[in-house]
């Protein structure tokens, strides 16, 4: 349950990061509401997962999932360049997150 919650929370980290970029300094209402909602849910999920998972592992997985999904979203929408090196680095990041899960 804690791992599932951590993965969902990592996904919500990507949601709030993308929404924050669209708030234009928290001046746009809808993206600001999405940002705040996703941020609160993401942090709450991380906190709950940390009840049973080690802090370092939980945080690294949460950040890794959020970062990978945020960059992947940027690549998918054309906001960030796509090239082989970036894709391989993202795959390495995901591999490290999976490795942390497998060695837990």
pLDDT tier at 101, thresholds 50, 70, 90: confident
Q: Which range marks the domain in which residue 66 is found?
A: 2-102
Is the pLDDT reported for residue 12 higher than 90?
A: yes
Cβ burial 54-84 (10 Å sphere, 16+ → b, else e): eeebbeebbebbbbbbbbbebbeeeeeeeee
Give the count of domains, the chain.
Answer: 1
The answer to whether 14 and 76 have CB atoms below 8 angstroms apart is no
pLDDT confidence of residue 15? 98
What would the pLDDT profile of 14-45 be if each residue is shown by its tens digit? 999 999 999 999 999 999 999 999 999 999 99
Tell me the two tokens of residue 51. Answer: 């009840």
Is the pLDDT reported for residue 104 higher than 80?
A: no
What would the pLDDT profile of 53-85 be if each residue is shown by its tens digit? 999 999 999 999 999 999 999 999 999 999 999
């Amino acid at each position: 349950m804690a791992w599932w919650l951590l993965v969902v929370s990592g996904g919500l980290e990507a949601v709030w990061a993308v929404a924050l970029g669209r708030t234009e300094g928290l001046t746009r209402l809808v993206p600001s509401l999405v940002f705040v909602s996703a941020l609160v849910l993401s942090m709450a999920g991380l906190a709950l997962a940390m009840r049973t998972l080690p802090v370092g592992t939980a945080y690294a997985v949460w950040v890794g999932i959020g970062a990978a999904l945020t960059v992947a979203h940027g690549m998918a929408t054309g906001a960030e360049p796509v090239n082989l090196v970036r894709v391989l680095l993202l795959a390495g990041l995901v591999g490290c997150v999976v490795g942390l899960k497998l060695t837990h």
